[in-house]
Amino acid sequence: MEKLKESYSKNGLDYYEIIKLYCECDLLIIDDLGKERLSEWVLEKLFQIINSRYENMLPIIITTNYTEQELVKRLSFGNDGKTAESLVSRLNEICLEIDTNFQDYRKK
């Protein structure tokens, strides 16, 4: 999202080139989904990227510390959770859930 915001200042890749890169790369990895500071703009761009990959059947690896319901709540903006529900629904359809309940290695 930072790269997209930077593109508005015209100091780097064009906005559409960045969106295209995330939508069309061979494999997209999103680490710690739900941890980012959410705004309506961030949710809209995240949905745009994930929906494009969903429609084109392109792989995504997502890591998150949230359950499905927690993720919907975390990604909901204002009183409207419909976009978050749609986003998580698409992820459910194209991703295989692997539950990893390992001890936090940072606490060792």
Residue 74 sits in a domain whose CATH number is: 3.40.50.300
Share of the chain above pLDDT 90, in %: 51
**pLDDT bucket at 15, cuts 50 / 70 / 90:** confident
Residue 7 has pLDDT above 60, yes or no: no
21 within some domain: no
| Confidence at residue 13, expressed as pLDDT on a 0 to 100 scale | 65
Residue 8 has pLDDT above 60, yes or no: no
Which comes out higher in pLDDT, residue 41 or 74? 74
Residue 24 has pLDDT above 90, yes or no: yes
Q: How many domains does the chain have?
A: 1
3-state DSSP call for residue 82? helix
Q: Alpha helix locations (H) across 8-106?
A: 15-24, 40-55, 68-75, 82-94
5 within some domain: no
| Confidence at residue 58, expressed as pLDDT on a 0 to 100 scale | 95
| Confidence at residue 17, expressed as pLDDT on a 0 to 100 scale | 82
Provide the strand spans (E) within the chain.
28-30, 60-62
Share of the chain above pLDDT 70, in %: 87
107 within some domain: no
* Mean pLDDT across 80-96: 91
88 within some domain: yes
| Confidence at residue 103, expressed as pLDDT on a 0 to 100 scale | 78
13 within some domain: no
- The rounded distance, in Å, linking the Cα atoms of 8 and 14 is 8
